[in-house]
Structure 1
Amino acid sequence: MKKLSLTESYHKNLHVRRDSYPQHHNLWHYHEEIEFIYLAKGMGTLFVGDCIQSVAENSCVLIGSNIPHYWLFDGDYLHKHNPIDCIVIHFKPNFLGEDFYQLQEAKSIQQLISNSSRVMYLENCDAMFNDLFAYIHEKSDILKITKLIESLHYFEKYQPQMLISENYEVYTHSLDHKRMNDVINYIKDNYRNKVELDALASLAKMTKNSFCRYFKQKTGKTPIQFVSELRVAHACRLLKSSDMNLKEICFESGFNNFVNFHKIFKSVTDTSPKQYKKLNTITTI
């Protein structure tokens, strides 16, 4: 897993960029800086800690220090003719100084920064977030800082959900980023087909038992759980955005039979595929 050092070329406390192509995202990595992202355009899957989360446009994510993560955008957004629009803010946990968090008025921000270790996710953000992030990206005056505080304030007020389980442990990551990224990329390219444990272990140059322990330590999941949840995330996107029927979505997502698809989908989302589609279908009159 690769540790990214943002402080070598960026401002030591705060850096903002706007991405139209996910070259910075499709890498299993971690860094000391907190990552605050507003996704204005794009769809895909976020792998973070022990969570696999479908993400869509108008969503915000707050990722704590040294939490491993990987963004997998849908194939439609990997071409320059259909760019993503994503504003990424990196800042040190104490970028405002330790004394700032002693202020009574700053306690909610302090709690939010603490909770970022669980990774916070907010979907269906209103236009205010787009305006705030755009200002932070475009300006260089002191209001850049106050707008970031304002963004964090409203993000906390909208009660984002926590993605990572409470018992997830952040291990001291070894410098084996190539091994982990090779495995993740293989799964990303093949999850809609049959993914063999032998192939993953061989790619990692490990025995099957050693690889399973290694993978569980890095992601909080077994390889089978990881692949299944990635398939479910893909199915969720299809249920929201396509006209395919349930059986077509089942096989398109990599499941080999409908019974297995229904069982795993419900275990991950707490609802059936049919119910999920109904809840996420917008009815027009």
Structure 2
Amino acid sequence: MKTLIQKIYVEEHHSFACRTYTTPNFETAWHKHLECELILITEGNGTALIGDYIGEYQPGDVFLLNPNVPHWFRKSNVKTIGSAIVIHFLTDFMGAGFLSLPEIKNVTRLLADKNTGIQFRAGLAKEIALLIKQLEYAQGIERVLLLLNCLQKISVSTEQKVLTIASGTMNSKEENSVIETIIDYSFKHFLNPISLNEIAGVTRMSVPAFCRFFKRNIKKSYFDFIKELRIGQACKLLRETERPVLEICYSSGYNSWANFSKQFKVVTNTTPSQYRKQYKS
């Protein structure tokens, strides 16, 4: 995908789109669009890049992305199947005056938070997931009612986490291609030392130009980006294996326990041992 702005196709007899995207159609790289996106992950796992947020996704996860939030759900293994039910809708899909109705002020407030990406937790995620599955096969006015029901539940619930408040700046095709190159290279090499000279060379930029470009587009420094990838890898190993914490340190791109422990706490607000204990409990 070499253009940042994705064109969403909506059938002539529908006011918004709802369809399942399965590999290879699931694999849409760094992109954004004018529509809001309500997405339920149904198969596969990997890393969600949403604005300046980096975190894991897995089946059952539900996200709401407001217009122009750049995102990329990147599978952890290219050979696995990725699948999601995705709803795309414009904020005014019910008509320009609809959001002015007093009865839906909470929904209006929700959709007014432009450039925001949120993830749902616990009971809310399960409720919205069930409605999305029903909506995929609904017809007529039932589709609209189900979507409005989703938005109403989201707008009054506290079981959600704001992941990002991204910039609305639009990128050129060339810039987006460079962003994809950086992200792809970083995922392939983040467990090894990466210098600014190395990654800048991949983009054919000088180091200062690369640093400015990356900070402008990803809203964080490149080394903060790499740190979050490495700590994300450590979190996965802590949850999914019984390997010793020190071994996980070295398997996550760190060669110093002190540095690993410090950076882990910066990202997660807890220690590796406490993280594993909390997850197991």
Identify whether the pair has TM-score above 0.5, normalized to the shorter chain.
Answer: yes
User: Is 2:93 aligned against 1:95?
Assistant: yes
Q: Is the 8 A contact 1:58 1:123 kept in 2?
A: no
Change (3 A) 1:55 1:15: same
Question: Equivalent residue of 1:231, what SS?
Answer: helix
Change (3 A) 1:123 1:273: same
Q: Is the 8 A contact 2:27 2:82 kept in 1?
A: no
Q: Is the 8 A contact 2:41 2:84 kept in 1?
A: yes
Look up the match of 1:251.
250
Change (3 A) 1:158 1:234: farther
Look up the match of 2:157.
158
Look up the match of 1:24.
26
> Identity over the aligned pairs, expressed in percent?
27
Change (3 A) 1:136 1:259: same
Whole-Å Cα distance in 2 between the matches of residues 89 and 202 of structure 1? Answer: 39
Look up the match of 2:84.
86
Deviation of residue 26 (structure 1)? 4.7
Deviation of residue 229 (structure 1)? 0.6
Counterpart of 2:79 in structure 1: which amino acid?
H
Counterpart of 2:230 in structure 1: which amino acid?
R
Whole-Å Cα distance in 2 between the matches of residues 127 and 64 of structure 1? Answer: 20
Whole-Å Cα distance in 2 between the matches of residues 157 and 39 of structure 1? Answer: 23
Whole-Å Cα distance in 2 between the matches of residues 269 and 153 of structure 1? Answer: 31
Whole-Å Cα distance in 2 between the matches of residues 236 and 115 of structure 1? Answer: 30
Question: Equivalent residue of 1:24, what SS?
Answer: coil
**1:68-122 residue CA offsets vs partner (Å, 9 max, x unmatched):** 11112222xx335xx3442111111211112111112211111111235221111
Whole-Å Cα distance in 2 between the matches of residues 280 and 202 of structure 1? Answer: 40
Gaps of 5+ in 2: none
User: Is 2:206 aligned against 1:204?
Assistant: no
Q: Is the 8 A contact 1:59 1:124 kept in 2?
A: no
Deviation of residue 44 (structure 1)? 2.0
Q: Is the 8 A contact 2:31 2:70 kept in 1?
A: yes
Where in structure 2 are the equivalents of 1:113-192 lying within 5 Å?
A: 113-115=111-113, 117-125=115-123, 127-159=126-158, 160-165=160-165, 168-176=166-174, 177-192=176-191
Deviation of residue 63 (structure 1)? 1.0
Look up the match of 1:2.
3
Deviation of residue 227 (structure 1)? 0.7
Q: Is 206-215 or 185-194 further displaced after alignment?
A: 185-194
Q: Is the 8 A contact 1:54 1:236 kept in 2?
A: no
**1:189-215 residue CA offsets vs partner (Å, 9 max, x unmatched):** 111222222221112111010000000
The TM-score normalised by the length of structure 1 is: 0.88
The TM-score normalised by the length of structure 2 is: 0.90
Look up the match of 1:71.
73
Where in structure 2 are the equivalents of 1:259-270 lying within 5 Å?
A: 259-270=258-269
Counterpart of 1:3 in structure 2: which amino acid?
L
**RMSD in angstroms over aligned alpha carbons?**
2.0
Deviation of residue 22 (structure 1)? 6.1
Deviation of residue 241 (structure 1)? 2.0
Question: Equivalent residue of 1:277, what SS?
Answer: helix
Change (3 A) 1:23 1:233: farther
Look up the match of 2:274.
275
